[in-house]
Amino acid sequence: MKLIRIITFLLLVFAAACSTLKLQPADFAWPVESVLAADNNGTVSEDRYSIMFDIQGLFYEEFQDSSAYKGKEIRLLRDVNGFYFITSAGFKNVYVFKMDYGALVLDNKIFVSETGIQSPALNQRSPYIELIDNGKSLYLTNTGIYRNKK
């Protein structure tokens, strides 16, 4: 009987030691978009949120020209789940990234316009990200377009 209690106690201690601490709910959303201009090296940074990354690969993905970032701005907004939504004027897509050890990794590429977005703006419409372009709105999630709104 004593052996069963000891084994049970050890199993409980082992199970507690192996469990993962989860803090929820958590909201990672940024209240407003960041409009970031690239520096001469193709890097953007936002001191308010302590983020910095290279956008040359993003512009290469969109235009097949890694120097297309010069003189351009990107629109960046983080949703409640921690995904980063990035687009820019002239882009046909909104790119969704997630964090990974010192990098942003492409999670989804959402096709938006065959002719390109003219003057994008990103708004937080929790749990969605609203993309506004020329008076038209799209509601986005990390998986794609949720719905259109005119």
* pLDDT tens sequence across 106-121: 999 999 999 999 999 9
**Which has more confidence, 16 or 69?**
69
Single pTM value for the model: 0.84
Q: Is residue 119 part of a domain?
A: yes
Q: Residue 45: in which H helix or E strand, if any? A: strand 43-46
Q: Is residue 43 part of a domain?
A: no
Q: Is residue 64 part of a domain?
A: yes
Distance separating alpha carbons of residues 40 and 115, to the nearest angstrom: 27
State pLDDT tens for residues 77-108. Answer: 999 999 999 999 999 999 999 999 999 999 99
Q: Is residue 115 part of a domain?
A: yes
Q: Is residue 96 part of a domain?
A: yes
Write out the two tokens for 62: 């969109």
Q: Is 65's pLDDT higher than 90?
A: yes
Q: Which residues span the domain enclosing 89?
A: 51-150
**Which has more confidence, 149 or 123?**
123
